[in-house]
Amino acid sequence: MLYLLVFLPLMVFLARRETTLLVQLSVLVPFLGLLLAPFLLGTAAGPFRLDGVGLFYLLLTDLIYGLVALFARGYFPREEAWRFYWAGALFLASAHGAYLAHNLGVLWIFVEGSTLASALLVYHKGGARALEATWKYLMLGSVGIAMGLIGVILVYALVGGVTLDWGEVRSLVGEANPEGLKVAFALLLVGFGTKVGLFPLQAWLPDAHAEAPGPASALLSGTLLNVAFYALLRYTALMQAAGLFPFASGLLLAFGLLSLVFGAWFLFGQREYKRLLAYSSMEHMGLAVFALGLGLPWLALFHTLAHSLSKTLAFLGASGILALSHAKEVGRVGGLVLHTPALGVPFTLSLAALGGLPPFPLFFAEFKAVEVAMKSPWLGVLYLVGLGLAFAGLLYPMAQMGFGQGKPLRGRGLDLWLLWVLLLLLLLLGVLPPVEVFKALEVVLWKP
């Protein structure tokens, strides 16, 4: 049955190029995944095993993919919709495989597979700029993931070449050479960190988001980044099991802070709102890595959930703005809350959520991280400076696009009700954060 979850997304190809059937299958497949996966928790088959953390990310991916696939039916012209749904099916299959993989080698294969599949989403429109963005994404992603492969091979060698099963490796790393494990983790952090979008490895991120169609950007930011972050979670847990978490923590905190501060700094002066959202992804993945470096895996998991839902809402809102206004620049869009509230209210509130304002869940995640970070004053101060910069960088776009001068947007129908569904989910998570659930998930990774 675990193999069924991997191949289930490929059912979309049965629709060929029939748009209506493509939409139906693209929504049905993640829905079936949502129903089936909880019953397979704890089961194993070959290199696959579904534990709590894998189930969490698989369900999150299916939820977001289903909503994006439904939104995309009103976004893409009929003659090009098949390209999005076909590439999306390949990506979803790769993401499922990564979250089910309990073998570190198989995990690497599916992470690389998600890179190749998502490149098709970036190149969707074609043209010179899309080709350049896709080439940059593939080159940087492939070089990074190659470094990750060296790290995987090194871990395999350090445990005696016995196994790559994650559970078995976790029980063996305590006897491995600690200096070798430090080198392996550094390679893995740089390798998977490239795909997560950590500074200074993020060069592909803004171009990919700027050129990909809006629903594809929602998938890239809301689900793709989590695939590589999931791999980092697994390897950080290995370092903790080996008694080397202080070393791993130093690297994670450094990369997290750099990504936060520079991602926030890059928000200033961004003319295009999709590039703005891309740098916001860099900032928030830095925050998730920072939480992991603090020794709070549960908070890192919660942060990626809050970010995924917030960024999916933001990019779907940006898709609607671009489709109805044909304007990419922040300064050419205004008054959305007053003139087009069905679109403007959830989009503007998504920027508020990304800025860390209450009652949204990212406020809760950032506040919890501050509580721990302030035990080291310089660390806490740098963290707060980064948060302040990020909020300030989003303030003008939020004010201009939500309340600035503009005119009503009218055009072809889009499923804007989906934005309100995402907004409701965010508000529920912010008001009632399921902390105990995430602390239970932490037990899967962290040895007491």
DSSP 184-236: HHHHHHHHHHHHHT-TTS-THHHHHHHHS-HHHHHHIIIIIHHHHHHHHHHHH
**Pairwise pLDDT comparison (345 vs 132), residue with the higher score:** 345
Q: What pLDDT is recorded for position 448? A: 64
> pTM of the entire structure?
0.94
Q: What pLDDT is recorded for position 411? A: 59
Q: pLDDT for 109-152, tens place per residue? A: 999 999 889 888 888 877 788 888 888 888 888 888 889 999 99
Q: pLDDT for 298-307, tens place per residue? A: 999 999 999 9
What mean pLDDT comes out for the span 225-234? 94
Q: What pLDDT is recorded for position 187? A: 94
What mean pLDDT comes out for the span 42-61? 93
Distance of CA 340 to the CA centre of its chain: 28
What is the C-alpha separation between 379 and 235, in angstroms, rounded? 24
Which tokens is 431 given?
A: 């008001």
What is the C-alpha separation between 204 and 134, in angstroms, rounded? 8
**DSSP code, position 287:** H
Bridge-partner residues for 13, per DSSP? none
